[in-house]
Amino acid sequence: MPLNLAPLTADPEFAALATGLDLSCPISASDIAAIDAAMDCHAVLVFRGQPLGQAEQVAFAEQFGPLDLGLKRLKKQPERLEKAELMDISNLDLDGRPAARDSRKVVSNIANQLWHSDSSFQATPVKYSMLSAVRLTSWGGATEFADLRAAYDALDARMKAEIAALQAEHFALHSRFMLGDDDYTPEQRDQIPPVLWPLVRELPYGRSALFVGVHARAIQGLTLAEGRMLLMDLLEHVTQPRFVYAHEWQVGDLVIWDNRATVHRGRRYDMAEPRELRRTTTVDVQLAASRAA
């Protein structure tokens, strides 16, 4: 059966429910092309009833490009999951129990509750993230996605002109500092230097994205105060309910989003209950190559 799509939002060019494929075994080149085309249109695809094992999830993701490990590269800490390519999006410690409230694991979980685009703070650009739901809590814990393309389109002409040439500085630890987690050595602070992204990001399929999120901490050429206020204003614009799809998880869901075209955030849940999801994220090979050229 080929890929079948049904809209999940009022905007037919945002999140869609995808059916017709079994993601646990290798899919054909034409199915991969169909998913890529659907991602260019919808930016978020929801697959249900596809509980993937660790190796299956890695194998599925690798069909879309090399995998990125984000901050995990730096943390030389023991990992709970066997597969190094998987990011452990859980509140669990190494024994599989909910981690202490003041642990860094829980801080990074809470940082995921701030609107962001995965890994926008690093030099290696990323494309898709794929999140698989393993264990869920009794309340909360939805994940929300905001469409940066529709948000850009809705800006008035004056704002589009104002931001057309601006670049934002994204920094890995900015979200951590916001949450009071600032106990890092100078070496750790320098490990991931800030990177610049245009506020208006041209996507290869002809749309523009208003590329903001919590990792953006300043705007080049503006004072810190003016830049931060503009970033907060734009993020508020982007995250209006009319641009947002809220995903209520079921075990076995796999959600794919395009980090170039969306920001996302987790919602609060009971941190005393186990919540376990696993993420794979692909490198944006096309952009990386064009930068290297």
Which positions lie near ligand OGA, rule CB under 6 A? 89, 112, 118, 129, 131, 143, 264, 266, 277, 279
CA distance 128 to 261: 10
| Shortest distance in whole angstroms from residue 16 CB to ligand OGA | 19
CB nearer Mn ion, residue 118 or residue 276 = 118
C-beta nearest to ligand OGA: residue: 266
Task: Please give the residues from 132 up to 171 whose contact with Mn ion meets the rule CB under 5 A.
Answer: none
C-beta nearest to Mn ion: residue: 118
| Shortest distance in whole angstroms from residue 119 CB to Mn ion | 8
Radius of gyration of the chain (CA): 18
CA distance 278 to 66: 17
Cα–Cα nearest to 283, from 121, 64, 71: 64
Judged by beta carbon distances under 5 to 8 A according to partner kind, the member of ligand OGA, Mn ion, none in contact with residue 89 is: ligand OGA
Strands 87-90 and 126-135: unpaired
CB nearer ligand OGA, residue 206 or residue 241 = 241
CB nearer ligand OGA, residue 3 or residue 89 = 89
- Segment (H or E) for 238: helix 224-238
Judged by beta carbon distances under 5 to 8 A according to partner kind, the member of Mn ion, ligand OGA, none in contact with residue 119 is: none
Using CB under 5 A as the criterion, what x/- string covers residues 104-123 for binding Mn ion?
--------------x-----
CA 220 from chain centre, in angstroms, equals 24
Cα–Cα nearest to 259, from 178, 188, 170, 140: 170
Cα–Cα nearest to 1, from 22, 16, 15, 17: 22
Instruction: List interacting residues with Mn ion (CB under 5 A).
Output: 118
